[in-house]
Amino acid sequence: MIRAGDGSTTMDAAGVTELYARIFAALDEAVEEDWERIAVNYEMEIDGDQLTEDRIGVAIVRDADGALRQVQVPFTEEAKRLFRSLSDAVLARDGQRPGAVDLLMDASGKYRFNFDFGAPRRIGGTMDDQAMRLARYVDLYRADPSPL
């Protein structure tokens, strides 16, 4: 079995929670500006021994004049490794690997992970509104800036 992450295949609930917190910290550290929300869609597919990944991450920041804008989230090697480890943990827990992981993070420290077990959209060549929704996330956030 090919593993996407660090090779571990079993993880208890506390280990998954710790992994969530480490992903939060890695993304928080990677964004150089003060942010209000981070939104990530991380796709992953393993075909034989070939790992394919596609990731989009945006941070919503507020300028000095109060205007909202979005900036790209850089994915460090550590963040990528953590997402791969999360994929492995979900595979071990649920018996299937997610095609995509969605993550919303608030600056308050709250976060929400969602797993999509369908085929990854962008990796599969689908560039529809669902696959590209984070390209305009700032507009969605402006319409509903409610905390998580």
Question: Could you list the residue range(s) of the whole structural domain that residue 125 is in?
Answer: 13-143
Give the Cα separation of 72 and 24 in Å (integer): 16
Q: 């709250």: which residue's tokens?
A: 110
Residue 4 lies in a domain: no
pLDDT at 1 (0 to 100): 36
pLDDT at 10 (0 to 100): 58
- Say which CATH number the domain at 97 has: 3.30.500.20
pLDDT at 11 (0 to 100): 67
Total of domains in the chain: 1
Tokens representing 45 are 């597919």
**For residue 126, what pLDDT band results from cuts at 50, 70 and 90?**
confident
Tokens representing 3 are 């593993």
pLDDT at 71 (0 to 100): 97
Residue 2 lies in a domain: no
**For residue 134, what pLDDT band results from cuts at 50, 70 and 90?**
confident
Determine the average pLDDT of the residues in 61-80.
96
What DSSP line would sit under 43-94, residue for residue?
A: EEEEETTEEEEEEEEEEEEE-TTS-EEEEEPP--HHHHHHHHHHHHHHHHHH
Per-chain mean pLDDT for the chain? 90
pLDDT at 3 (0 to 100): 47
pLDDT at 106 (0 to 100): 97
Residue 8 lies in a domain: no
Give the Cα separation of 113 and 101 in Å (integer): 7
pLDDT at position 80 over 70: yes
Please count the residues of the chain: 148
Do 29 and 38 meet the contact criterion of CB atoms below 8 Å apart?
Answer: no
Determine the average pLDDT of the residues in 109-122.
94
Nearest CA-CA partner of 69 in 137, 119, 148? 137
- Percent pLDDT > 70 in the chain is 92
